[in-house]
Amino acid sequence: MATSLNGKRIAFLATDGVEQIELTRPWQDLKDAGATVQLVSTDTGEIQGFNHLTPADNFSVDSSTRQAKAEDYDALVLPGGVANPDALRMDENAVSFIQGFFNANKPVAAICHAPWSLIEAGVVKGRTLTSWPSLKTDIENAGGNWVDKSVCQDQGLITSRKPDDLDDFCSTMLEAFAA
């Protein structure tokens, strides 16, 4: 049975350096399920996707972190890449935007290096999550419990390690966002 997300509004928070497949695959799966998806970034205009370290496509931004509000969305997706979450965690508005989803108990899905933004938002403590392996120490130092699994779901937070985990990540995300 297909998951229906008709009427759901989903924000993707990303900036330059986003791992392109971690943006485009969940985006397409959510659209296919009927969700309205919007790209939120630190600035308006476009962001540059990457295939690992190689520049890829540009993506149009729908709203900036200065304008967007968590209350306008049903869920949040945080794609990875190394540069993307590193830049987002340095943006006060991006961090506040992330915190808004947790304060409202809305589901959040994060993959690869995206938990760096979660750490900065102060929402990792007491949660079990996974990520790209190099974030293990950062997550543990922030009070989280790191596990090496393709997908982890804890208290409304869905996390995965890498692009190879996208099948598990997307199916778990769709179920959680539909609930």
* Per-residue pLDDT reduced to its tens digit, 105-117: 999 999 999 999 9
Active site residue 113: yes
The percent helix, strand, coil of the chain (3-state, each to 5) is 35, 25, 35
pLDDT tier at 3 (50, 70, 90 boundaries)?
confident
The residue from 89, 113, 127, 162 that is catalytic is 113
The tens digit of pLDDT for each residue in 57-78 reads 999 999 999 999 999 999 999 9
Alpha-carbon span 113 to 89, nearest angstrom: 11
Radius of gyration of the chain (CA): 14
Position 1 pLDDT exceeds 90: no
Residue 46: CB partners within 8 Å, gap ≥ 6? 58, 59, 60, 61
For domain 9-178, the CATH superfamily is Class I glutamine amidotransferase (GATase) domain (3.40.50.880)
